[in-house]
């Protein structure tokens, strides 16, 4: 279930970007991606991964970007998410 949710989440994010940053598709993709991640590695491990002290800056940008996309500012939200994603996984 988790891999399917992550796959659909990535598909909706890509499709939302191809359709000139459609905020509904991007928001749906973000929700599916995060819920799939929780299904794959579990709630506790997801929480501990995102909220480690050295990764708090990346987490705040990533989750802030998700929140901004949900508030229907898709371009700014995706830029924040991209910076947070790069900061989390470097």
Query: Mean per-residue pLDDT for 47-55?
Result: 94
pLDDT-above-90 percentage for the chain: 98
Asked whether the predicted pLDDT for residue 90 surpasses 90, the reply is no
What is the pTM (predicted TM-score) of this model? Answer: 0.90
- Residue 57 confidence (pLDDT): 96
Q: Are residues 2 and 42 in the same domain?
A: yes
The 10s digit of each residue's pLDDT in 3-35 is: 999 999 999 999 999 999 999 999 999 999 999
Q: Are residues 20 and 4 in the same domain?
A: yes
Q: Are residues 21 and 64 in the same domain?
A: no
* Domain limits for position 60: 52-89
Residues 36, 43: Cα–Cα separation, whole Å: 10
- Residue 10 confidence (pLDDT): 96
């Amino acid at each position: 279930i988790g891999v399917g949710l992550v796959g659909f989440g990535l598909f909706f994010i890509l499709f939302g970007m191809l359709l000139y940053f459609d905020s509904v598709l991007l928001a749906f993709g973000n929700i599916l991606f995060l819920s799939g991640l929780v299904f794959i590695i579990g709630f506790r491990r997801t929480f501990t991964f995102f909220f480690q002290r050295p990764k708090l800056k990346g987490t705040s940008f990533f989750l802030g970007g998700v929140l901004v996309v949900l508030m229907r500012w898709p371009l700014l939200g995706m830029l924040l998410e991209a910076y947070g994603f790069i900061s989390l996984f470097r």
